Structure 1
Amino acid sequence: MTSDRRASWLKGVLDLLVLASLTAGENYGYEIAKDLAESGLGQIKGGTLYPVLNRLEEAGLVTAEFRVTERGPGRRYYRLTDQGRQTLAEQGGLWLGFDESVRAVLARGRAEALQPAGSQGEEPR
C-alpha cells in the first residue's frame, strides 16, 4: 500500500520534478530518471517519464532535439524553455506552499497521535 501512495504522490508532482531536473541544463530521459531516483524518488519507468516529457514539450515548457551518437542508439535531449522556467517558478512556489500546509497538519496529527490516551482531555477507551 505504501508504494501505491508514493506512486500517486509522485504522479501529482512529476511534471515539476522533471522541469526542476532540467534547470542545470539539457539532458535525456534515462539521465533524468536516474537523477530523480538518486534524489530518493525511486525508479521512474520510461512508460511514466516519456509521456510527461512529451506533454511538457507539447505545452512549450521544454524543447527536444534528437542526436545521433557514435555508439548505441540516438538520444532525445530535452531543454527547459523560458516558459518552462516561469512555470516551474510559479507552480513550484504553489507546490511548496501546499507542502508546508501538509507538513503542518501531519506534524500536528502525528504529535497528537503519539500522546498517551486520555492526555488530551479525552476519556480512555
Structure 2
Amino acid sequence: MIPDINPKPPGAQLIKRMSTRTKWLILAPLGLVLFSFGLCVLSEAAHQRRIGQPAQVWVLLGLYSLALINTGLVFFGEALRFRILLDVRRETRRSMRQLLRKVNAKALRKEPVRKGKSDKKTKSPTKTD
C-alpha cells in the first residue's frame, strides 16, 4: 500500500500557517536586501565593461543583477501587499468597534429606567379587558 502524501511541499504549508505580519516582516527586508545587492552587482557589471573585460563576463553579471533586482522588487511588492492588508484589517476592526459602541450607547439610552424593585408588566392603556 502506498501511504497518502500531502501534495503541497512543506515550505508552502509553513508559509500558509504564518501570520500576515510575519510574512510582512520577512519579505520587506529580504526584498530590500535583494534589490540592493542587485544594484551592487549591476555596478560591478558596469565596472567590468568599463575596464574592458570580455562581453560574456559583464553580460552575465548584468543578467544576474537584473534577476536580483526584479526578485527584490517582487518580494518588496508582496510585503507592501501584506502591510496594506494589515492596515485595512486594523481600520476595519477599529471602525467596527466604534460602530458597536455607538449602537450600544443608543440601546442604553432607549431603555426605560425602572425605579423600584417591581418587575411587573404594566398594562397597555389601549388594551381593554
Q: What is the TM-score when the length of structure 2 is the normalising length?
A: 0.33
Q: Which has the higher helix share?
A: 2
Structure 1 length-normalised TM: 0.33
Q: Which has the higher strand share?
A: 1
Structure with higher RCO (Cα < 8 A, 6+ apart): 2
